[in-house]
Amino acid sequence: MHSRVGRARGALLGLALGDALGMPTQSMSPSDIATHYGEITGLVDAVAAQPIAPGLPAGTITDDTEQALLLARLLIEGDGQVDASAYGRALLVWEAGMISRGSADLLGPSTKLALTRLAAGVPPAETGRDGVTNGAAMRVAPVGIATPPADLDRLADAVAETARVTHNTSLGLGAAVAVAAVVSAGIAGAGLAEALDLGEQGALLGARRGRLVAGAEIGPRIRWARQWVRGIPAAELGGAIGQVIGTSVAAQESVVAAFALAEALGERPLDALLLAANLGGDTDTIAAICGAMLGACHGSAALPTDLTTRVIRVNALALDPLVQGLLALRGPA
């Protein structure tokens, strides 16, 4: 299904599938993944030694998808606008619910610090001044679905409005706009290469909207990584990405790693997501971001139905109303 609806659904479904594939290995090293799982080749239960989600059943999503769907609902309820304070309160309520269920899958470091500041009365424009992780990028897909790519500055502004409260830095916003631009371009019918090109441009615009912080810039890193992976044999790709790009929660590592996977394996979405799950580090977020981008570019029909059906069932996901609401915000094709 390559219709606009199919691509929008693919973005959310790809995000959820990548998230679920990476759930059992998140925060584990490649050697620990090999010890406990051998190799991830599908949806599997998390082992008891999983440091964040021990024992979670196969197909379970994490905070990546849950926060993205929360943002989608807030966008729809606010007719495209999200009040920063209300968004912060919603994230805190979400985390409290996770804690009550005994989950260790909570808010990331940048988001937690920002919301602590927000609760203390710090203005929303200042709360995210240290947000350099991938939290904004992992949950930004709904903004890309709701906002067309023709005016990239408008798209960057829309991302900044929702992300600034937690990730108001050149790295945090650069990464978030990059992902949103790929998703938005995919919904508009762009091919993968064109969409990834727009992601590079979006990263540059996003960086200008946040507080400049030290660190390798997202846009140039994406451009370099896309060129670099083209010369790497498939069997060496995972190790190369883990060792050279990195797979930590830092935006300039995990988000760039997702772009590298999309460049190298983007015509085979499941292969890209499985490799992400085996990388080690922030596997669920890398796979979720990669899944959102590839799902937007290829449509939901490019994702394996047996796996997506299981993810929907395990998590009781109702994606179609969100897809319809976000596309209504986007306007006519």
Q: Is 284 annotated as ligand-binding?
A: yes
Residue 91 to residue 56: CA distance in whole angstroms: 22
Would you say 305 is a known binding-site residue?
Answer: no
State the residue for tokens 């988001």: 111
Q: What angle do CA 154, 66, 88 make, to 5 degrees?
A: 65
Q: Is 63 annotated as a binding residue?
A: yes
Q: What are the start-end ranges of the H helices in 208-282?
A: 218-229, 237-240, 251-265, 269-278
Does 285 show up as a binding residue in the annotation? yes
C-alpha 186/C-alpha 34 separation (Å) is 34
Dist. CA 50–CA 277, nearest whole Å: 13
First to last CA, the chain: 16
Cα–Cα dist 209/169, whole Å: 7
Please answer whether residues 195 and 237 qualify as being in contact, where contact means their C-beta atoms are separated by less than 8 angstroms.
Answer: no
| Whole-angstrom distance, CA of residue 60 vs CA of residue 315 | 6
User: Burial of 302 by CB count in 10 Å (0-12 exposed, 13-18 middle, 19+ buried)?
Assistant: buried
169 is in an annotated binding site: no
Angle at the Cα of 329 (from 326 to 333), degrees rounded to 5?
95
Rama region for 250: left / alpha / beta (φ>0; ψ in -120 to 50; rest): beta
Tokens of residue 319, six digits: 């994606």
The tokens for 127 are: 């709360």
Q: What is the largest CA-CA distance in the chain?
A: 52
Per the annotation, where are the binding residues for Mg(2+)?
62-64, 282, 284-285
Per the annotation, where are the binding residues?
62-64, 282, 284-285
